[in-house]
Amino acid sequence: MVAAAREVRSVSTSHFPPSTPGLWPVHVHAFHELLWGTQGVLTVETEHGFFAVPPTIGLWIPAGVAHAVQTAGGTGFYCTYVDADLSVPSTEGAAERHAERPARPARPARPGAPVPAAPAEGAFVAVLDRAHRTTAVAVPPAARELMVHLFRNDMDPAARRRSERVVVDLLSPVDVTPMVLPMPSDARLESVARRLLDDPADTRSLEAWAREVSVSVRNFSRLFHRETGMTFAQWRIHARVRVAIGLLAGGMPVGTVSRRVGYRTPSAFVQSFRRVLGHTPGWYVASVKADAEHPLASGSDDRPSAALPTWLG
């Protein structure tokens, strides 16, 4: 494995329009990477598991984190590269400034909306520094517009530096749980997990899979829970929902998706989907369609900027 070579400004963005299926094998960057504005669903694999990146959230991959990226046909996205040495505005006094603001009545959360991480001084940068792992982020409209604005080649250097700092400061972490599917590291269990991702409709029982990989049922169950934090049954449900997200985003009807991922009835699929993500497949499809229908502003190189994600609006 070698580091992917790319010369970038402090912040630069590439647009990957919808096309045929794509695969970027495991690689690392010397800079941070933000995937956002997805049409369809990206799949990113790191040592911590599989991340499904829907159109409504961004995924921050810190410099030095090995990852692979896969897209289904028709998936498009933006990729913003951030210099690992980019300094950000000081966060000193942020807590005091926040405390001085008058409290606003809490707005009821939308079903299934990502839950913001607990606020703190320099929350986003602190999360990266502490965990140094892939993180789900909210990418607000201002950040999206700025990233497109930075496409320009005629910007004043001082103005560019200011904009680059603001872009990073505008990002905020959200709960990554709905996006990540932890993978077991044991080779035998990993082979089972990957086969279920390839064919989520495979209904073989835990006992059958344990026999398949020559592991006792007790050890299979114990190892699976230890390495993923879930029972095998729980993990299978999450895996099915993860695959379903991509199929739904690609326009497949809910009934067809339910059969494709192993459910006998759409109602059983809807129940599992709601249990994992907090909302129904129909709500998710409507959310994705609403994002796609937002008018997009043109960037200086005629690339569109993305609209506000309805999950985070």
Q: Kindly report, residue by residue over 192-245, the tens digit of the pLDDT.
A: 999 999 999 999 999 999 999 999 999 999 999 999 999 999 999 999 998 998
**Domain 11-96+115-173, CATH 2.60.120.10 — does that match?**
yes
Lowest model confidence (mean pLDDT) among 106-120, 139-153, 241-255: 106-120
- Where do the CATH 2.60.120.10 domains begin and end in the chain? 11-96+115-173
pLDDT confidence band for 19 (50 / 70 / 90): confident
Predicted confidence at residue 137, as pLDDT, reads 87
Q: Kindly report, residue by residue over 118-132, the tens digit of the pLDDT.
A: 333 344 444 444 346
Write down the pTM of the prediction.
0.68
Predicted confidence at residue 286, as pLDDT, reads 82
- Where do the CATH 1.10.10.60 domains begin and end in the chain? 183-289
Q: What is the CATH number of domain 183-289?
A: 1.10.10.60
Predicted confidence at residue 250, as pLDDT, reads 77
Predicted confidence at residue 245, as pLDDT, reads 86
Burial of 20 (0-12, 13-18, 19+ CB in 10 A): exposed
The yes-or-no verdict on residue 92 having pLDDT over 60 is no
Predicted confidence at residue 225, as pLDDT, reads 97
Report the chain's terminal Cα–Cα distance, integer Å: 39
The yes-or-no verdict on residue 283 having pLDDT over 90 is no
Top pLDDT among 45 and 2 is at: 45
pLDDT, average across residues 20-33: 91
Residues 57 and 311 sit within 8 Å (Cβ to Cβ): yes
pLDDT confidence band for 294 (50 / 70 / 90): low
The yes-or-no verdict on residue 313 having pLDDT over 80 is no
Q: What's the per-residue H, E or C state across the chain?
A: CCECCCCCCCEEEEEECCCCCEEEEEEECCCEEEEEEEECCEEEEECCEEEEECCCCEEEECCCCCEEEEECCCCEEEEEEECCCCCCCCCCCHHHHHHHCCCCCCCCCCCCCCCECCCCCCHHHHHHHHHCCCEEEECCHHHHHHHHHCCCCCCCHHHHHHHHHHHHHHCEEECCCCCEECCCCCHHHHHHHHHHHHCCCCCCCHHHHHHHCCCCHHHHHHHHHHHHCCCHHHHHHHHHHHHHHHHHHCCCCHHHHHHHCCCCCHHHHHHHHHHHHCCCHHHHHHHHHHHHHCCCCECCCCCECCCCCCCCC
